[in-house]
């Protein structure tokens, strides 16, 4: 028997995958399932992006690009920072990566020594802490709640920072809560970590999908930060597997060396396609989608509150609502399973995002049409009704 690496035992699978598999099974049996578990936009890739991708393939000349990415794409990303955030950024600091996954891999591979403690909020996107485990670091999960909008605050970071802590990972807008870090808080975090020579990794993959106020980039506050972004969400390019990483000036060489070795380069046609993501016509399309996501957020947020879910922090971005279902169940995983089996509505249980009160929470993704959401809400209401009747009946026994 080959024994293998111990880190494997510290990495969790996505529990929602079982649920998704069961949902697909129900669909094969002919049932219509309302999917509110999927963290992927339902819109197709914008047409100009598709056209650019097709053009890049047509000739068959699909060769490796430089490890850091196509120069024109790196420039286009730099221009986007200038336009959107008023941040002047040398394109040398931008690395094109195979999805945000590739960016996390590069950044954490370059930053984390075995045994290093890296701070993250709980709940948070599970891959982020699993990447820390991949490099034998120690993810230090700090429970966050509505008092800090489910985000790490400067105070929480200060309180939990130890001698072994090397850095912190933040995400705004956040998966699963959709909350954002306020600019003043972000500035305080940047300063505090910088003074300790720690690193800050800012996951900004949901930037662009903000519905109340603009999400600020950590790059507006400092050059000494690692920023992760992706074409998957706002630009609708999940399956293309393309994202980017911005690194501090003095990290460019080390990161390039690592990129050469661990992925050679991001997919070539995806890179050509991504250049068209910054086309003004594409921007119109992505902005329309953002408005549609906001309508969905408004609708679903209102309906979940009406049905009796508690939503302690306002979801301002991404496409998720993290709702407390403890009024209905003390076990959100069981609740999610029953909801799927009885009402054919799929949602993600809290335990996919951490251990902090996870059994009270469900993540609803509004990555489906308003009609589907309405149907989901209708089914959910009926499901809750039948449960409350059951418990009344049970009480009468």
- Is 2 or 396 the residue whose CB approaches its own copies more closely? 2
- Is 256 or 331 the residue whose CB approaches its own copies more closely? 256
Strands 348-349 and 361-365: antiparallel
d(CA 275, CA 372): 33
CB of 119 to its own copies, least distance (A): 15
- Is 98 or 178 the residue whose CB approaches its own copies more closely? 98
- Is 134 or 384 the residue whose CB approaches its own copies more closely? 134
CB of 372 to its own copies, least distance (A): 16
- Is 200 or 380 the residue whose CB approaches its own copies more closely? 200
- Is 248 or 308 the residue whose CB approaches its own copies more closely? 248
CB of 60 to its own copies, least distance (A): 3
CB of 74 to its own copies, least distance (A): 16
Angle between helices 99-111 and 126-134 in degrees, nearest 10: 40
CB 352 within 8 A of CB 122: no
Q: Scanning the structure block, which residue is given the tokens 């690194």?
A: 247
- Is 167 or 350 the residue whose CB approaches its own copies more closely? 167
CB of 53 to its own copies, least distance (A): 5
- Is 64 or 397 the residue whose CB approaches its own copies more closely? 64
- Is 29 or 59 the residue whose CB approaches its own copies more closely? 59
User: What's the token pair of residue 23?
Assistant: 């949902």
User: What's the token pair of residue 269?
Assistant: 């046609």
- Is 54 or 355 the residue whose CB approaches its own copies more closely? 54
| Distance from chain centroid for Cα 328 | 27
CB of 110 to its own copies, least distance (A): 6
CB of 295 to its own copies, least distance (A): 22
CB of 263 to its own copies, least distance (A): 5
CB of 194 to its own copies, least distance (A): 9
Task: Classify each residue of 210-225 as buried b or exposed e, where b means 16 or more C-beta atoms within 10 Å of its C-beta.
Answer: bbeeebbbbbebbebb
Q: Scanning the structure block, which residue is given the tokens 């980039």?
A: 217
Please count the CA atoms within 13 angstroms of the CA of 10 that sit on its side-chain side.
16
Q: Which residues contact 60 (CB under 8 A, 6 or more apart)?
A: none
CB of 305 to its own copies, least distance (A): 30
User: What's the token pair of residue 206?
Assistant: 């949901």
């Amino acid at each position: 028997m080959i024994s293998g690496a111990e880190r494997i035992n510290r990495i969790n699978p996505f529990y929602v995958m079982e649920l998704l598999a069961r949902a697909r099974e129900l669909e094969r049996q002919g049932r219509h399932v309302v999917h509110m578990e999927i963290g992927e936009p339902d819109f197709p890739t914008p047409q100009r992006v598709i056209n650019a991708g097709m053009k890049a393939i047509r000739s068959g000349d699909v060769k490796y690009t430089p490890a850091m990415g196509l120069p024109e794409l790196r420039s286009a990303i730099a221009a986007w920072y200038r336009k959107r955030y008023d941040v002047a950024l040398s394109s040398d600091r931008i690395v094109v990566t195979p999805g945000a996954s590739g960016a996390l891999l590069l950044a954490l591979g370059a930053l984390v020594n075995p045994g290093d403690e890296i701070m993250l909020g709980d709940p948070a996107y599970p891959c982020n802490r699993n990447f820390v485990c991949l490099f034998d670091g120690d993810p230090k999960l700090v429970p966050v709640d509505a008092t800090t909008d489910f985000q790490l605050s400067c105070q929480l970071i200060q309180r939990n920072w130890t001698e072994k802590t090397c850095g912190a990972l933040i995400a705004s807008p956040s998966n699963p809560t959709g909350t954002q870090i306020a600019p003043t808080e972000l500035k305080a975090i940047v300063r505090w970590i910088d003074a300790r020579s720690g690193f800050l990794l800012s996951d900004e993959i949901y930037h662009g999908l903000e519905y109340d106020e603009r999400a600020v980039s950590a790059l507006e506050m400092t050059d000494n930060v690692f920023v992760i972004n992706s074409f998957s969400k706002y630009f609708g390019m999940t399956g293309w597997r393309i994202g980017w990483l911005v690194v501090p000036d003095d990290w460019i060489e080390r990161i390039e060396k690592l990129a050469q070795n661990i992925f050679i380069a991001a997919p070539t046609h995806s890179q050509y396609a991504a250049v068209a993501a910054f086309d003004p016509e594409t921007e119109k399309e992505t902005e329309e989608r953002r408005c549609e996501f906001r309508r969905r957020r408004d609708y679903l947020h209102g309906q979940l509150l009406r049905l009796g879910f508690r939503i302690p922090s306002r979801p301002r971005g991404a496409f998720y609502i993290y709702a407390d279902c403890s009024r209905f169940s003390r076990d959100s995983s069981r609740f999610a399973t029953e909801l799927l089996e009885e009402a054919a509505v799929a949602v993600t249980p809290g335990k996919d995002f951490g251990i902090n009160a996870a059994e009270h929470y469900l993540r609803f993704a509004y990555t489906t049409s308003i009609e589907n959401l309405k149907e989901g809400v209708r089914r959910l209401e009926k499901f809750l009704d039948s449960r409350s009747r059951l418990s009344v009946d049970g009480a009468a026994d």
